[in-house]
Amino acid sequence: APQIGVGLRVFTYHVDDEQSGHLINPVLHFPSEQEQDGPEGCLSIPGLSWDCTRRADVVAHGQNMYGDPITIDGTAMLARCIQHETDHLDGVLFVDRLDTETRKAAMKAIRNADWSGLVAPIVKLSPHPTRGLAL
């Protein structure tokens, strides 16, 4: 939601054409200390990706789109996705999690990207009543 200008702790996910859904107010728990390292990209940084270390397993507690409590057990790509999207809700981009050397290279690539420095899109406020739940 924050990526599209909506001030709510919610995201949707779709992984490998098999797992998709909505997660509202996620709280993450990590059942093990195991980590995975692999390429990660982001719609906020189009066309660029770097290897990023994440936990290998995650258990996410939250609500679905109907407000019902849900628990999602994620491994591999789903674990990476849930951590990545929850980071967005906390104002963190995956480049913030890169090691120092990789992060320097990433920031240089971002500065040199064709889209770098372009005027940011205008976020339009909803004409519908949000009852204080959005911008």
Active site residues: 85
Q: Structure tokens of 89?
A: 């809700």
Q: Which residues contact 12 (CB under 8 A, 6 or more apart)?
A: 20, 21, 22, 23
Decide: 102 and 51 in contact? Cβ < 8 Å: yes
Which H helix or E strand runs over 101?
helix 100-112
CA triplet 132, 134, 135: central angle to 5 degrees?
A: 105
Q: Cα(103)–Cα(38) distance, rounded to whole angstroms?
A: 15
